[in-house]
Structure 1
Amino acid sequence: MTAYDIIGDIHGHADKLKDLLRSLGYQRVGDGYQHANRHAVFVGDFVDRGPAIGEVIKIARATVEAGDGFAVMGNHEYNAIAFHTKVPGTSGNSDKWFREHSDKNRKQHQATLTQLSPRELSDAIAWFRTLPVTLELDGIRVEHAAWRDNQIAAIQQSLASRGRFSTDFLAESEQVGSELHAAIEDVLKGPELKLPSGLSITDKAGHIRDTVRVKWYEPPTCQTYRDFHFGSDDVPNVTIDDTMTQGMTGYPADAPPVFVGHYWLTGTPTPLAPNVACTDYSVAKGGKLVAYRWDGEPVLSADKYRWTS
């Protein structure tokens, strides 16, 4: 059985990535890193925010292409593909893109736009299109935000029939209300639950929201919005109406260990459940770049986390 080091969201912090890989016993080989008997696994979100986005992409891509690691797509890679893919039939002043070039979206993507040349950006987007949404490796699962069997199957079927993040794929995945749009939102960005009528929260970015991101790995029965919410916003302590959570059953206790990123956690890393671990501990906000060292254990443990800060 191969041993894996599952590495959280990097967001352009190449120095932290190199420090972490060296501390885990990896050696530089060309542009990538190699370990004698382990493989690195990246959970996505290589771009945006950090100071060395191009170098992060170069390291991760070289490591994967040399067979020394694996990577899944993060929501920031998906967003980048959509941001840089024109809607067919538009041109000139009427250009439209699958991800709108709004001030909000451009601001989120600005560090990548600033740091990468047009050629580097085009090359990166081409690589992002090749990334899998999920991985199953020797008894573990890896994806960016949430493991949802039916939605993962829908994404895989659409990729196979429409092409890997092609214009046909994006036309459906960006259509609000479509099955594929819901699947991308949940698997890459995390399931959300609508708050009762008249209630809202202000998120960390100052945006007013009437939905909350939820602990998809737990069953919602008899929980309140505050207990079931994934984060630290001021969420109402109101019991969830069961009719709002149909299809949410949690991640089975007997399912393979699954590793995610995405959630901007803080504090001392620890598993979310016996078979669920998050490796995103907010490196882009002054936190830690975290890895989980998996050696075949079916029950995950806090003492298997490593990090650099």
Structure 2
Amino acid sequence: MIVTNRRISFDIIGDIHGHADQLKALLFDLGYSRNGNGFRCANRKAVFVGDFVDRGPAIGEVIAIVRAMVDAGDALAVMGNHEYNAIAFHTRRAGKHDGWFRPHSVKNLKQHQATLNQLSTKEIVDTVDWFKTLPVAIDIGAIRVAHASWQTQGIDCINRAIATSGQFTPDFLTLAEDSDSDLNLAIENVLKGPELQLPAGHSIVDRAGQQRGSVRIKWYENGVGRSYRQHHLGSDEVPDVRIVDSDLASFQTYPRDASPVFFGHYWLTGTPSPLASNVACTDYSVAKGGKLVAYRWDGEQTLSADKFHWVRKENMDA
């Protein structure tokens, strides 16, 4: 976690997934200019919410831009679940023949295939090494950024494990991939978002085409008295069945007087707007034909729909 009291304006940019043309168009639209392989804007800094790889047509270029901006001090970046998955996919489990921390299953290969196709073996090794240096969350003092949700206890748990086992080392991953560990739950919540189990007999097919028995929730709000559909965060079709209130006992809400928090991950659609007065998602499904979105933050505690900027794929093709 990075903490600074320095006053500067930030542009928080959503999941890119290899769409370099949209990224460049958005940065130019926001007033950034080329600076080597990256971009720079006087008195502003970009903050990337993760998910740079997989799905899109120009993954290498996206990584080059983001990495150059971070190295030059023109941007900050947090790890997304796709960066974490890439680390696990390319890290061997000791003592297991052809064993990896993320199995090379048909499902996982399909999700990661665009990256495998576009990057050389040397580039993948270098890129994964860079992913390991990324924080899972950034607390800038006036704003907070994480890929899927802000969970203080979970973030602290991950950072303690890094201090003990190293930055996403095999020892770290061994504990992180143990489904009974606190670290596993922390990774799931911070990088993939808190989920609520659906009642028996119910399931959904998410936007990636996977059947799921749980749904991502509006972790920043109290779900008591709501249905799964009302408390779901994302654009999946979810059953309109009331949640058993006791199932929500372990979930915490995000305080309305806390620093504004920004994240990606949820494949939102429609016109971007804050989810709460101090909560905003900047993932609007560019990898599924949607928009690459940024929020221009200039010190406000109460977030505004007017501060969202975006580019659409169809505008790039015009």
**TM-score category by the smaller chain?**
over 0.9
Other structure's SS at 1:130 match: coil
Deviations 1:248-273 (A, max 9, x none): 13111111000000011111100111
Identity %: 63
Q: Which of 77, 88, 93 is the matching residue for 1:82? A: 88
8 Å CA contact 2:262, 2:281 repeated in 1: yes
1:28 corresponds to which residue? 34
Matched with 1:5 is 11
Q: Distance in 2 between matches of 1:207 and 1:11?
A: 19
Determine if contact 1:220/1:248 at 8 Å carries over to the other structure. no
CA-CA distance at 1:149 after TM superposition: 1.0
1:287 aligns with 2:290: yes
Q: Say whether residues 1:261 and 2:267 are aligned partners.
A: no
Cα distance in 2 for partners of 1:205, 1:281 equals 14
- Deviation of 1:231 after TM superposition, in Å, equals 2.7
Q: Is the 8 A contact 2:235 2:266 kept in 1?
A: no
- Decide which of 223, 232, 247 is 1:244's aligned counterpart: 247
C-alpha deviation, 1:176, in angstroms: 1.2
The answer to whether residue 54 in structure 2 is matched with residue 51 in structure 1 is: no
Query: Which amino acid letter does the alignment assign opposite residue 164 of structure 1?
Result: Q
Matched, 1:303 2:316: no
One of 48, 58, 63 as aligned partner of 1:42: 48
Q: Pick from 176, 187, 195: which aligns with 1:192?
A: 195
Shift in alpha-carbon separation, 1:63–1:205, aligned structure 2, 3 A: closer
- Is 1:173 aligned to 2:155, yes or no? no
Q: Map Cα deviations across residues 168-200 of structure 1 (whole Å, 9 max, x no partner).
A: 000011111211111101110011101112222
The C-alpha deviation readout for 1:102-135, integer Å capped at 9, x for no partner, is 0000000000000000111110000000000000
Q: Distance in 2 between matches of 1:184 and 1:220?
A: 22
Matched residue type, 1:68: D
Residue 72 of structure 2: which of 66, 73, 78 is its match? Answer: 66
Contact 2:91 2:170 in 1 (8 A): yes
Cα drift, residue 210 of structure 1: 1.4
Segments of structure 2 that go 5 or more residues without pairing to the other structure are 1-6, 313-318
Partners of 1:220 and 1:249 within 8 A in 2 = no
Map residues 103-182 of structure 1 onto 2, 5 A cutoff.
103-182=106-185
Q: How far did residue 243 of structure 1 move?
A: 2.1
2:190 maps to amino acid:
V
* Residue 275 (str. 1) matches residue 278 (str. 2): yes
Distance 2:125 2:178 in 1: 24
Instruction: Provide Cα deviations, 1:54-73, integer angstroms capped at 9, x if missing partner.
Output: 00000000000001110000
Change (3 A) 1:162 1:64: same
- For 1:204 and 1:120, how far apart are their aligned partners in 2? 29
Matched letter for residue 233 of structure 1 = D
- In the aligned structure 2, how far is the partner of 1:208 from the partner of 1:109? 18
- Measured in 2, the distance between the counterparts of 1:9 and 1:236 equals 27
Partner deviation per Cα, 1:34-71 (whole Å, 9 max, x = no partner): 11110000000000000110000000000000011100
Letter aligned with residue 46 of structure 2: A
Which residue of structure 2 aligns with residue 227 of structure 1?
230
Task: Assess, with a 3 A threshold, how the Cα gap between structure 1 residues 233 and 25 changes in structure 2: closer, same or farther.
Answer: closer
Instruction: Return 246-255 or 44-53, whichever deviates more.
Output: 246-255
**What letter corresponds to residue 246 of structure 2 in structure 1?**
T
Q: CA deviation at 1:209?
A: 1.9
Q: Does 1:210 align with 2:213?
A: yes
CA shift, 1:89, in A, is: 1.5
Cα deviation code 1:141-190 (max 9, x no counterpart): 00100111111111110011110000000001111121111110111001
- Letter in structure 2 aligned against 1:4: F
The alignment partner of 2:132 has SS state of: helix
Relative to the length of structure 2, the TM-score reads 0.94
- What TM-score, normalized to structure 1? 0.97
Distance 1:233 1:259 in 2: 21
Length, aligned pairs only: 306
In structure 2, what residue type is equivalent to 1:308?
V
Q: Comparing 194-203 with 211-220, which one deviates more in the overlay? A: 194-203
CA contact (8 A) 1:190 1:213 kept: yes
